[in-house]
Chain A
């Protein structure tokens, strides 16, 4: 499937995402101008007050954007999922360039001109409006340009907190290991950045040569910006109004999670008739956990082993019942309920090609240890590092490979195995690509890996208020087998089917 074909078949969605992206950037840039220019003026006038502010803006700039979203999610008013927190983060990033160029622009003005204005009887305000700001304007616009271009890039991360924009395609493409979908988001986002850069460069040049024609064009440009800002304010105000009667279902940002989110959402819809709001594709375990604790979502699907290690920071345990009980108790203490597992486990899968497995008669990891010295291995970065990853695995089974394992990105690892660049990989037990490529999953016969049973985490207060929701969620326990999950993942990843349709088919057939 080409990128153009993808855009044609997703035209409506594309324009929605474009709109969201532009709104995120415009709203944040306009607010950053409104705050940054006065702060820049203050910093130029009173360095003693200004210097710490510029320092603070510098520090903010160094915080990775995903981490920033994580910090802000639990805060009242600005926190929560959606456009509001995204715009707030984008404002923080846009401030530094604007403050800096405002200060620099004011400081670079020839002091003779200030002296001339003062001697002519201008008040400080008149001097600022008639002399200083007009002369600093090209520099300020340069800062706005940098801020807006940074904004277009950072706004792609905003998809992780459910704010939409082209980041949706990028995250979706990454989780589907489909570069077409990644490009479908990356290309327009890059073009948007270039367009904004070009337009503001023209404004900047126009301001520098002070001619009348440019002045008129400038007035038109300013009017346009104001119009967009007003429209943005309206949309944000509307979108910020939360609906309190709906059940909100979240998911992490990979294929399996999106399908599971749909299954949970559709089950509640059909069984209770309540309205369900989908907050799928959130950026990872951390953000989902924050969201369900703060009430931005009411439920999502988590894995027991992940909850124990990544959320509750406990030692790895390999007994699935003990893990389930421990995690349930931990969640209960935080006002959350972990329901009984869905029926499948998404553990690390040690995979080899099917023809190797058949030829050598290898079924288990213990058997594989004998052949490992002639094999090359490929692992993700995380698996190579994690306590429950490669180091322990090698010790448990006495694995020694032909050469040290190659670290590679998860999106490339299945293809590398198929193309015989490596002979053994660590993948996902539920990956649709296992069946698609005919790989064999080696059995963990010494039970090295902790259990990763999938189960719904929900806010206890919501389950108390809506017994029918609890009933609906409970009906999913034990219903999804690992083969079902692989088949559904494959339908989305390999056959490019819609996750909602795949979930609907599963629920219909399984009824």
Chain B
């Protein structure tokens, strides 16, 4: 994955992690180049969220190392690290007592930006995710649709312009039409901001739609990793089941046409 010669933004080096007696990761290794979008696909319980939490040091590995910007996570100040890694989750988790503008301003405020800079940044981000800043900035989260809330979630994660973006099943709760729309939107945004994105999902279609690289997680190790076209042709028995729904769908579509 380091073929372009760019520096690795995030590296997992033989990481083991157990939840109680239950091993989740057993010798997991991975390197993600700055500016790439990596989608990790796996079944529920495969340890996808654990990988994200190891990156922003909500969890630390039992053995092995996770390096962010070439520094092991346990040597980072956890709060500083998390402010450099925007987080988007399926439930969005917007603060209901704050306006949309205040939600987006959360991390910039934590970093002590002045009011003018915060306001400019909020306006910029609302425009980036396609919401009118004058209208939406003052609204409350419960006055937005699910798709709009998810866009705000992305804007909030980008708040202080972090180099890394972590996304946990970010668009899983949306209906298929809205999801397709927001996928296009995300590609357009990523084209402009060029973050290092780690996205976990159980939906291979979402992974293909968004990522520059796709990894398949199975039994606590990375089974396959490569460009979408490569993974799509994989014959690996750990990958095929995840591709089945797509093959069936295209078969149905093929018969129709």
Q: Which residues of A contact B (CB under 8 A)?
A: 110, 112-113, 115-123, 126, 130-131, 134-135, 210
Interface flag for B91 (CB, 8 Å)? yes
B248 to chain A, nearest CB (A): 33
CB nearest neighbor in B for A118? B58
With a cutoff of 8 Å between Cβ atoms, the chain B residues found around residue A112 in the complex are 89, 91, 93
With A126-B110, A210-B140 known as contacts, the answer to whether A119 contacts B87 (CB < 8 A) is: yes
Interface flag for B150 (CB, 8 Å)? no
CB nearest neighbor in B for A207? B97
In B55-95, the 8 Å CB interface with A consists of 56, 58, 78-83, 87, 89, 91-95
A121 touches B110 (CB 8 A): yes
B140 touches A120 (CB 8 A): no
B89 touches A115 (CB 8 A): yes
B107 touches A116 (CB 8 A): no
CB nearest neighbor in B for A124? B79
Q: Which 10 A-B pairs give the minimum distances between C-beta atoms?
A: A116-B93, A121-B82, A121-B83, A119-B87, A112-B93, A112-B91, A121-B79, A134-B97, A210-B97, A120-B107
A121 touches B58 (CB 8 A): no
A122 touches B110 (CB 8 A): yes
Number of A-B contacts (CB under 8 A): 54
B87 to chain A, nearest CB (A): 4
A121 touches B107 (CB 8 A): yes
B107 touches A135 (CB 8 A): no
**What is the CA–CA distance of A134 and B92 in the complex, to the nearest angstrom?**
19
CB nearest neighbor in A for B140? A210
B96 touches A120 (CB 8 A): no
Interface flag for B50 (CB, 8 Å)? no
**What is the CA–CA distance of A488 and B81 in the complex, to the nearest angstrom?**
83
B89 touches A116 (CB 8 A): yes
**What is the CA–CA distance of A144 and B117 in the complex, to the nearest angstrom?**
39
B87 touches A116 (CB 8 A): yes
B82 touches A119 (CB 8 A): yes
**What is the CA–CA distance of A113 and B93 in the complex, to the nearest angstrom?**
5
CB nearest neighbor in A for B53? A119
**What is the CA–CA distance of A118 and B107 in the complex, to the nearest angstrom?**
11
A126 to chain B, nearest CB (A): 7
Given A118-B82, A119-B58, A135-B96: 7 more A-B contacts, CB < 8 Å: A112-B89, A116-B87, A119-B56, A119-B87, A126-B110, A131-B95, A210-B98
With a cutoff of 8 Å between Cβ atoms, the chain B residues found around residue A117 in the complex are 95
With a cutoff of 8 Å between Cβ atoms, the chain A residues found around residue B95 in the complex are 113, 116-117, 130-131, 135
| Between-chain CB contacts (< 8 Å), 10 pairs | A113-B93, A113-B95, A115-B89, A116-B87, A116-B95, A117-B95, A120-B82, A120-B106, A130-B95, A135-B96
A203 to chain B, nearest CB (A): 15
B105 to chain A, nearest CB (A): 11
A160 to chain B, nearest CB (A): 44
In B179-219, the 8 Å CB interface with A consists of none
CB nearest neighbor in B for A122? B110
A120 touches B87 (CB 8 A): yes
With a cutoff of 8 Å between Cβ atoms, the chain B residues found around residue A116 in the complex are 87, 89, 92-95
With a cutoff of 8 Å between Cβ atoms, the chain B residues found around residue A135 in the complex are 95-97
**What is the CA–CA distance of A256 and B96 in the complex, to the nearest angstrom?**
63
**What is the CA–CA distance of A131 and B93 in the complex, to the nearest angstrom?**
11
With a cutoff of 8 Å between Cβ atoms, the chain B residues found around residue A126 in the complex are 110
A120 to chain B, nearest CB (A): 5
B79 to chain A, nearest CB (A): 5
With a cutoff of 8 Å between Cβ atoms, the chain B residues found around residue A113 in the complex are 93, 95-96
CB nearest neighbor in A for B84? A121
With a cutoff of 8 Å between Cβ atoms, the chain B residues found around residue A123 in the complex are 79
B83 to chain A, nearest CB (A): 4
**What is the CA–CA distance of A104 and B89 in the complex, to the nearest angstrom?**
26
**What is the CA–CA distance of A112 and B94 in the complex, to the nearest angstrom?**
9
A118 to chain B, nearest CB (A): 7
B155 to chain A, nearest CB (A): 13
B131 to chain A, nearest CB (A): 19
**What is the CA–CA distance of A118 and B82 in the complex, to the nearest angstrom?**
8
A121 touches B81 (CB 8 A): yes
**What is the CA–CA distance of A119 and B83 in the complex, to the nearest angstrom?**
8
With a cutoff of 8 Å between Cβ atoms, the chain B residues found around residue A110 in the complex are 93
B61 to chain A, nearest CB (A): 18
CB nearest neighbor in B for A115? B93
With a cutoff of 8 Å between Cβ atoms, the chain A residues found around residue B96 in the complex are 113, 135, 210
Q: Which of B56, B78, B80, B95 has the most CB of A within 10 A?
A: B95
With a cutoff of 8 Å between Cβ atoms, the chain A residues found around residue B93 in the complex are 110, 112-113, 115-116
With a cutoff of 8 Å between Cβ atoms, the chain A residues found around residue B156 in the complex are 120
* B205-244 interface code vs A (CB 8 A; 1 in, 0 out): 0000000000000000000000000000000000000000
With a cutoff of 8 Å between Cβ atoms, the chain A residues found around residue B107 in the complex are 120-121
Q: Which of B80, B93, B94 has the most CB of A within 10 A?
A: B93
**What is the CA–CA distance of A134 and B103 in the complex, to the nearest angstrom?**
14
With a cutoff of 8 Å between Cβ atoms, the chain B residues found around residue A210 in the complex are 96-98, 140
